[in-house]
């Protein structure tokens, strides 16, 4: 069996037993990338020689010693390109430092290897918004991988990565995890440092893992969590060993089923898969509780005011002056700004900058931005109330399986609605995970689908406990 198909936990056992070396894992992974990446397109770049040197020097006594990890191309790794899948940064920016999560992974012995494709500046739900290349679903190359961490999910699913890092602003880890049939975890806001993550919407962004198993997600979470003085939003909270919760089962736990997440528009096969998962959890000793999240109807509208508003501010630094691509032969200074941004940003990024600038503009900020902040508070309070009744919430991750490339190219709103079930977790700052739950038959293809579990803020331990039970079922 190819080493690239194995989980972190399995590879670590073989490494510690002396059956394999870090170089064996890396060479197998390189071979898999060379064979599979041309048709899947998970990676934008990779530095083979640097990774080989790191593998030779890897300390296998460390928790992740010798394990290569793919990195979404909006997370800084010293000496590596960080393009955010945008022409603005292509061949124009090399990371001068390691993001805090990369420092922590290296300290745990992991080897960052490969820059995974994504929607440009993490804006999108398909990865088709990448300005640099297309990524295809390993289960059906005519379909999208989800986004924005699509390259990371596709790499894990196609066994061109043992595991990967992504970022999640409105579902960008969980949604592609569902479409590709892997595990995707969005930790609570503040649980993992965002220092070194290229900002999209700073109050929503969170780094997290995409893995082959729930146990692997717990292993990576162990390594990445912890307070970071470089990030003012990083919480100084104790970090448990998340792997210890994985075998506790679900007996006595209360699982919430929100009525607003089982509405018209969901593929009935996904609805059935979620309800079947709920029944299995009940059979294992959990109690099912019907709950309500009454402000769910406002989630998408709220998100698409707040996230673009923050993006408009964060992306103002890309001006053709400080770094990134600069337009050729401008007539005057204003042309540097206008033409550099017009040439550097893709359609979806421009759309969100324009929308964000509008809702922040004089005369409209109270009407839109302030009202959206009030709606966000109500959405957060929905979850606070719900978690007084239940331990974990169960729902679909996405309303449908992976769509065909270009299915929503003429209707961005339909793409935005694909994040209906994932956005709320970011608005509320809580944790969430997508776990594979079978496949859907579409023509000759079997497309993965996932179920989503949501836990309270800093509730990752119990969230992983239930996720492991779902995986075992």
Token pair for 95: 């990371």
Distance from C-alpha of 228 to C-alpha of 264, rounded to nearest angstrom: 43
Q: How far is CA 162 from CA 12, 85, 335, 452, 457, in A?
A: 11, 22, 45, 22, 28
Q: How far apart are CA 160 and CA 180, in angstroms?
A: 13
pLDDT tens per residue across span 324-342: 999 998 999 999 999 999 9
- Orientation angle between helical segments 460-472 and 268-283, nearest 10 degrees: 100
Largest separation between any pair of C-alpha atoms in the chain: 71
Q: What is the pTM of this model?
A: 0.97
Q: For 98, left (φ over 0), alpha (ψ -120 to 50), or beta?
A: beta
Q: Is the pLDDT of residue 412 over 90?
A: no
Calculate the alpha carbon distances from 360 to 311, 349, 375 in Å.
11, 17, 16
Q: Known catalytic residue: 72?
A: yes
| Residue 32 appears among annotated catalytic residues | no
> Could you read off the pLDDT of 243-296 as tens digits, one per residue?
999 999 999 999 999 999 998 889 999 999 999 999 999 999 999 999 999 999
Report residue 30's pLDDT band, with 50, 70 and 90 as the boundaries.
Answer: very high
pLDDT above 80 (res 411): no
Q: Which of 172, 143, 144, 186 is nearest to 73 (CA)?
A: 172
Is the pLDDT at 413 greater than 80, yes or no? Answer: no
Instruction: Break the chain into its structural domains and give their ranges.
Output: 3-245
Report yes or no: 217 and 173 within 8 Å, Cβ to Cβ.
no
Model pLDDT, residue 207? 98
Q: Is the pLDDT of residue 408 over 80?
A: no
pLDDT score recorded for residue 415: 79
Q: Which of 4, 32, 42, 148 is catalytic?
A: 148
CA 42 to chain centre: 14
- Are the C-beta atoms of 74 and 88 separated by less than 8 Å? no
d(CA 26, CA 346): 34
Question: Residue 94 — pLDDT band, cuts 50, 70, 90?
Answer: very high
Among this protein's residues, is 172 annotated catalytic? Answer: yes
DSSP secondary structure code for residue 402 in this structure: P
**Mean pLDDT, all residues of the chain:** 96
Element (H, E) at 272: helix 268-283
Q: Which residues pair with 194 in a beta bridge?
A: none
Find the catalytic residue in 4, 72, 152, 434: 72
Distance CA 421, CA 434 (A): 11
Q: Say what the pLDDT of residue 264 is.
A: 84
What's the whole-number mean pLDDT along residues 403-414? Answer: 82
Which residue stretches of 97-149 are H helix?
100-107
Looking at residue 334, its pLDDT comes to: 94
CATH of 3-245, one of 3.40.50.1820, 3.90.1300.10, 3.40.50.2000, 3.20.20.80: 3.90.1300.10
Residue with tokens 């790794």: 77
d(CA 172, CA 164): 13
Return the pLDDT at 216. 98
- pLDDT given for residue 407 in this prediction: 87
What confidence tens digit (pLDDT) does each residue in 117-163 have?
Answer: 999 999 999 999 999 999 999 999 999 999 999 999 999 999 999 99
Query: What is the mean pLDDT of the segment spanning 164-190?
Result: 98
Nearest to 206 by CA among 149, 279, 128: 149
Q: Which residues contact 347 (CB under 8 A, 6 or more apart)?
A: 129
> Which of 4, 100, 152, 172 does the annotation list as catalytic?
172
68-72, strands of its sheet edge to edge: 43-45, 111-116, 68-72, 164-167, 207-211, 183-186, 431-442, 445-455, 392-396, 254-258, 287-291
341-to-83, 313, 321, 443 alpha-carbon distances in Å? 15, 14, 11, 42
Instruction: Report DSSP state, residue 236.
Output: -
β-pair partners for 404: 143
Residue 23 pLDDT exceeds 80: yes
């Amino acid at each position: 069996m190819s080493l690239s198909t194995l989980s972190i936990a399995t590879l670590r056992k073989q490494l510690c037993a002396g059956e394999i070396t870090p170089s064996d894992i890396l060479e197998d992974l390189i071979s898999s990338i060379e064979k599979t990446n041309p048709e899947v397109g998970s990676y934008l770049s990779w530095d083979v020689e640097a990774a080989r040197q790191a593998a030779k020097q890897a300390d296998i006594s460390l928790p992740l010693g010798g394990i290569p990890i793919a990195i979404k191309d909006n997370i800084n790794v010293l000496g590596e390109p960080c393009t955010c899948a945008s022409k603005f940064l292509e061949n124009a920016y090399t990371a001068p430092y390691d993001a805090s999560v990369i420092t922590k992974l290296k300290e745990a012995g992991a080897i960052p290897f490969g820059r995974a494709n994504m929607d440009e500046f993490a804006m999108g739900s398909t990865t088709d918004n990448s300005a640099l290349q297309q990524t295809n679903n390993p289960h059906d190359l005519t379909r999208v991988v989800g986004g924005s961490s699509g390259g990371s999910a596709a790499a894990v699913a196609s066994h061109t990565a043992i595991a990967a890092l992504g970022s999640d602003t409105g579902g960008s880890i969980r949604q592609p995890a569902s479409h590709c049939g892997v595990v995707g975890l969005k930790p609570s806001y503040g649980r993992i440092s965002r220092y070194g993550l290229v900002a999209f919407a700073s109050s929503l962004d969170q780094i997290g893992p995409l893995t082959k198993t729930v146990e692997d997600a717990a292993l990576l979470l162990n390594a990445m969590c912890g307070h970071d003085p470089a990030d003012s939003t990083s919480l100084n909270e104790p970090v448990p060993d998340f792997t210890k919760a994985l075998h506790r089962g679900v007996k006595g736990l209360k699982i919430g089923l929100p009525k607003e997440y089982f509405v018209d528009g969901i593929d009935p096969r996904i609805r059935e898969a979620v309800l079947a998962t709920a029944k299995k959890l009940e059979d294992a000793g959990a109690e099912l509780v019907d709950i309500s999240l009454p402000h769910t109807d406002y989630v998408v509208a709220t998100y698409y005011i707040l996230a673009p508003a923050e993006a408009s501010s964060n992306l103002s630094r890309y001006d053709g002056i400080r770094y990134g691509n600069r337009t050729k032969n401008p007539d005057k200074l204003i042309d540097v700004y206008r033409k550099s941004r017009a040439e550097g940003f893709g359609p979806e990024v421009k759309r969100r900058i324009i929308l964000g600038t509008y809702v922040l503009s004089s005369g409209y900020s109270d009407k839109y931005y302030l009202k959206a902040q009030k709606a966000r508070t109500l959405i957060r309070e929905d979850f606070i109330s719900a978690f007084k009744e239940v331990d974990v919430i169960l729902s679909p991750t996405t309303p449908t399986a992976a769509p065909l490339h270009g299915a929503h190219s003429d209707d961005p709103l339909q793409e935005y609605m694909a994040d209906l079930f994932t956005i709320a977790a970011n608005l509320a700052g809580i944790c969430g995970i997508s776990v594979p739950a079978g496949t859907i038959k579409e023509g000759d293809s079997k497309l993965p689908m996932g179920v989503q579990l949501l836990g309270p803020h800093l509730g990752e331990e119990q969230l992983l406990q239930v996720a492991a039970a779902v995986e075992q079922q």
